Amino acid sequence: MLFSVPESGWWLIALAATAFFMIGVRALVHGMRLPGEPRSAWERQSRRRRQAFYLVTPVFAATVLAINLLRPEPAPELLFLYSVAFASVPIALFPVRARVLRDYIAQQRNPGTTVRPDRLAVAWITGFLCTVLLVAVFALLATRYDM
């Protein structure tokens, strides 16, 4: 039932997941500014990073898909896993973005010292991504043996 969608539909879903990833990552940093930095320096640096992100991400995604589609597995299953992976990253980071930013600011203010990441943020991100991975694998296995 999961793979009753035709292969062209899975390509569209993968494209939408890539777009969601790019928009989601952009939404993570929207409105968050580092305190104490000159606004123009932040905007220049942000503009360069944004341009690189929008150029590199589609190339990276196309490379990952091209390499994985050379395998003998059916394309819809690979496109499903690709879509789940790309869509889950912004969702995992969004609830803890302030904690991650706080750690980043601490690291920028004290470059010589090691800053320990927030345990709650690490636990949330790891737990969420592991749960998504397990659900995706179980969904994949359940549809494989349903036939």
Q: Encode pLDDT of 108-117 as tens digits.
A: 777 777 777 7
**CB-based contacts of 101-109 (< 8 A; 24+ apart in sequence):** 101/32, 104/34, 105/34, 105/35, 108/34
pLDDT of residue 128: 96
Report d(CA 79, CA 14) in Å as an integer: 6
Q: Where are the domains of the chain?
A: 2-146
Mean per-residue pLDDT over the chain, rounded = 81
Question: Band of the pLDDT at 123, cuts 50, 70, 90?
Answer: very high
Per-residue pLDDT tens over the stretch 77-91: 888 988 999 999 999
Examine the pLDDT at 104 and tell me if it is beyond 70. yes
DSSP 36-68: TS-HHHHHHHHHHHHHHHHHHHHHHHHHHHHHH
Q: Are 146 and 1 in contact (CB under 8 A)?
A: yes
User: CA-CA distance, 46 to 28, in Å (whole number)?
Assistant: 13
| Count of Cβ atoms closer than 10 Å to residue 23 Cβ | 12
